[in-house]
Structure 1
Amino acid sequence: MPERDVVSWNAMVTGYWQNKDLKESKMLFDLMPERNVVSWNSMIAGCVENETVDEVFEYFLSMPGRNTASWNAMISGFVRYGWTEEAAMITGYCKKGKMENARILFEDIQPKDSVSFNAMTTGYAQNGDGEAALKLQAQMLRRDMKPDHSTLVSVLTTCSTLPSLKEGRRTHVIILKRGFASHLSICNALITMYSKCGCIIDSESAFSHLNNPDLVSWNTIIAAFAQHGLYEKAVSFFSEMRMSGCEPDGVTFLSLLSACGHFGTVNESLHWFDSMVKNYNLIPWLEHNSCLVDILGRAGQLEKAYDLIKEMPFELDSGIWGALLSGCCAYSNAELGQLAAEKYFELDPQNSGAYVVLSNIYAAAGRWKEVKRVRGLMKEQGVKKKPAYSWMETGNKVHFFVGGDVSHPNIEEIYS
């Protein structure tokens, strides 16, 4: 065609997805010099027809303008996938991170059903607002509504992040009542939640309810033992995993190396690092190497750690140099520590941690001029030390505190 107008493009875009070639349809849509509402509606209809649900939301939310056909195309998708119109729109906004839009839409729904509650609760959890997610789940229970599978996983993840053991246990009760205790993804989320909340025995108990644990399940429980410094338990479960016929992957060995880090054994860490390469033909990631550098640094083998860094075939990140810097601080190696810190500053100049560690190294060596120089550099770069904090759970809420904090509005009530 010597000239193609938007009608010609739309005809081709529609023709491809009608013949089950959505990939080609999307490619032509992306190449269109101009689009009208028909173009967007065609892509929505194509995604509905080809059952690519996530892309339905993506195109609908990206449209510069919508007409009746746009809404009809979306509604046909809602009906096909068994979702209500409002809940599907909430999910679409949540996927885009537009929680305020999702909340407004949620508030407009009358009456609210379990589908809309589940969509909103999951959205809050996935966008990092754990407190709002837990509040909505509580509202669901008061209304005698049932959280679905994805909502329960999201809420457990929220409880892991806060961490909130009380809400985690409450969610576990709901899981038991709903008969989800042996569901793979829910059990995996339970293992992580209990581990992050300090209850490793409950993590192991949750794992025991799995009839056929998959690789993710094995990796999750091994990581839980590693997090708690239980090296022998991690190795024991690795052996059980192998006996069950499940092949380990890079994540498995990362957990084993992490367990070695807590246990403080260089020989074991080198054994696992070599084993993943020689016995399982796995190529070590940057994270594996970073873990090994950390272990060598903790053991005082700083030169060996530095040699390992120099041999790495990766683009190094700040974590590698941070691991070496920590080892230099523990063993007062100012020269290597300065080199590690300079490399760290190049990659992450606004992180206060490296400045503080380097300052501590110089202070331990009595090099006060260097301490002053590092503090001046922090001021020059506008870097401020972030205060460490801790938390406690009471009264159905997690409270965060910094050192010497007396500003919390309920401080007397909490400690009474």
Structure 2
Amino acid sequence: MFLSHFPSFKLKTFLPYFERYSSRCTRKPHKSPEFVYASNVRINELARQGKLQRARKVFDEMLERDVISWNSMITAYWQNGYLRESKELFVSMPEMNVVTWNSMIAGCVENDCIDDATMYFRTMPERNIGSWNAMISGYVKYGMMEEAARLFDEMPKKNVISYTAMIDGYMRKGEIDKARLLFERMPHKNEVSWTVMISGYVENECFDEANKLFQKMPDKNENVVAMTAMVVGYCKEGRVEEGRILFDGILFKDNVAYNAMISGYAQNGHSEEALKLLVEMLRMSLRPDESLFASVLSACAALASPVAGRQTHAVVIKHGADSNVSACNALITMYSKCGSIFECELAFELITSPDLISWNTIIAAFAQHGLYKKAVAFLERMVLRGCEPDGITFLSLLSACAHAGLVSQSVSWFDSMTRNYNITPRPEHYACLIDILGRAGQLDKAYNVIQESPFQADLAAWGALLAGCRAHSNVELGQLAGTRVMELGGESSGPYIMLSNLYAEAGMWGEVTRVRGLMKEHGIRKQPAYSWTEIENKVHYFLGGDISHPKIREIRMILKQMNLQMKKVLDFTDFYTS
């Protein structure tokens, strides 16, 4: 054999010599089996590199081709998105084998042509188990479970791949019982079958079942994919510490495992831990995927840390994810929550093709910062770009009106939802309008909105009315709103405290005592407020009444000194104005 003389043969080393050899052979093509074999290897290597024109040139220059040559070129085309060229080669192929037909089925499935895949499957002269599995996997991919089940039942012989594909399909559809029955019926299970079943349970919010199955799984501590699925499950359940223990037990962590743990931290409010783990991941030279950046930027937003946010932004750019719309949307949110509205707008302008979420995010950012005119200007740009606003867009506009105290504009936008955009207002839109009217002291109008709403007023609506009554000392209407809030079983202490303060201002001390008693009875406590500041890349939290800060003595000493200075200023002012 041509290559048998090269026991340590490496294709990349050999390619330049082959290129020269191949070019000389254009005048005198070789027919030898060694040459055909070497050409097939060359085609596959060039296809892996995406160099299809050069691969086709090698193919065309072959005087003799075997079935592997044709199959390699056909597969190379569809793997790179050129299904039409695959079909043309397939038609011109002198003799096909079952591998050729299977390749065409897989190519059609991969390139969103499931009907063509079905046509090839039905017309192929003979099938092997790979043909059946390829077609079943195609149906599963497109959610066509009835067709997949029919084919599965017709199969003359099934293997572990057949069963696993069906289980995966049922889990994707949320048909857990069917997946479980099939899993139990499997004559042989491999690690992929176990992993698909466990991941399916996790995705369908059945963590207890996932955990039970994981405990039974053979060699579970050697399966990174199954362990990662369980990490995701623990984090979804809010059991982040247990998820971290399992994560630490993974011997060879890949980027998927890191992504799962970092996202879990971010989703559960453990922002600092998420950022620390990202740093560890980068030090391991692992590449974060684009979806992870959205989670990490959310963590920066939760910390309201512009320094951490900018550092993460730099990592996003370094890894080429700054063109990813999801990551850019997260950047907008992060800069908005950090108070950097200029950088927020800049992040939006860098998006080549903003989607609906992009527009809604930037409009919401302007709304949160009270920039009503900017929000409206971007709505107009949005419509001009052919992107239709939705309910979230108008919720942001109403929020902008609330921050700016624009009552008439808010009513106008609310009405235009149905009139101009055919959008039916949802309960949250009604609650926002009630809040705006309540803040403006138009409490009767706010109450009328509740009565005229097609929805049963929820906690948000009654809470907004109660806040307006508290701000404008309307005890009678406030009492009604407060009663409704309590009946709806709100667990927040805010409405109770507002109602209690409203009664206190009116001198109704008996009612104050009653409301406080209800809070105690329902186990509702006032959540202490906290603030934070970032100093030398470290975020310091200050909680009301908390003494756990490591420098609490120094903090108290400085506060005493500031208090004395404030008193001196006060005394001086009193003396000077007397």
Q: Verify same fold: TM over 0.5.
A: yes
Corresponding position of 2:228 = 90
Give the counterpart of 2:291 among 125, 140, 150: 150
Does residue 392 of the first structure (1) align with residue 530 of the second (2)? no
Give the counterpart of 2:409 among 250, 260, 268: 268
> What number of residue pairs does the alignment pair up?
393
Q: 1:123 to 1:39 in 2, by over 3 A?
A: farther
**Structure 1, unaligned runs of 5 or more:** 1-10, 76-83
Deviation (angstroms), 1:115: 3.9
Corresponding position of 2:395 = 254
Q: 1:280 to 1:168 in 2, by over 3 A?
A: same
Deviation (angstroms), 1:137: 0.9
> For the Cα contact (< 8 Å) 1:14–1:46, is it kept in 2?
no
Give the counterpart of 1:55 among 200, 211, 226: 200
> For the Cα contact (< 8 Å) 1:47–1:56, is it kept in 2?
no
> For the Cα contact (< 8 Å) 2:170–2:179, is it kept in 1?
no
Corresponding position of 1:306 = 447
Q: Which one is further off, 209-218 or 308-317? A: 308-317
Corresponding position of 2:464 = 323
Does residue 402 of the first structure (1) align with residue 543 of the second (2)? yes
Higher RCO (CA < 8 A, seq sep 6+): 1
Q: Which residues of 2 match residues 90-109 of structure 1 at below 5 A?
A: 90-97=228-235, 99-109=240-250
Query: What TM-score comes out, normalization by structure 2 length?
Result: 0.60
Does residue 38 of the first structure (1) align with residue 190 of the second (2)? no
Query: What TM-score comes out, normalization by structure 1 length?
Result: 0.82
Q: 1:202 to 1:88 in 2, by over 3 A?
A: farther
Corresponding position of 2:515 = 374
Could you say what secondary structure the match of 2:288 adopts?
coil
Deviation (angstroms), 1:206: 0.5
Q: Which residues of 2 match residues 141-220 of structure 1 at below 5 A?
A: 141-220=282-361
Deviation (angstroms), 1:142: 3.2
Could you say what secondary structure the match of 1:128 adopts?
coil
Deviation (angstroms), 1:279: 0.6
Deviation (angstroms), 1:281: 0.6
Q: Structure 2 CA distance, aligned partners of 1:144 and 1:375? A: 56
> For the Cα contact (< 8 Å) 1:40–1:63, is it kept in 2?
no
Q: Structure 2 CA distance, aligned partners of 1:359 and 1:65? A: 51
Does residue 333 of the first structure (1) align with residue 474 of the second (2)? yes
- Residues 309-360 of structure 1: per-residue CA shift (max 9 Å, x gap): 0122223321111100010011110000000000000112543211211122
> For the Cα contact (< 8 Å) 2:262–2:277, is it kept in 1?
yes
> For the Cα contact (< 8 Å) 1:190–1:203, is it kept in 2?
yes
- Residues 21-49 of structure 1: per-residue CA shift (max 9 Å, x gap): 9459975944989984739959x75996x
Deviation (angstroms), 1:167: 1.4
> For the Cα contact (< 8 Å) 1:293–1:305, is it kept in 2?
yes
**Structure 2, unaligned runs of 5 or more:** 1-148, 155-161, 559-578
> For the Cα contact (< 8 Å) 1:13–1:29, is it kept in 2?
no
Corresponding position of 1:347 = 488
Does residue 291 of the first structure (1) align with residue 445 of the second (2)? no
Could you say what secondary structure the match of 1:206 adopts?
helix
Name which one, 1 or 2, has greater alpha-carbon Rg. 2
Q: Structure 2 CA distance, aligned partners of 1:252 and 1:268? A: 15
> For the Cα contact (< 8 Å) 1:230–1:259, is it kept in 2?
yes
Q: Structure 2 CA distance, aligned partners of 1:67 and 1:378? A: 43
Give identity over the alignment, percent.
51
Q: 1:20 to 1:159 in 2, by over 3 A?
A: same
Corresponding position of 2:89 = none
Corresponding position of 1:81 = none
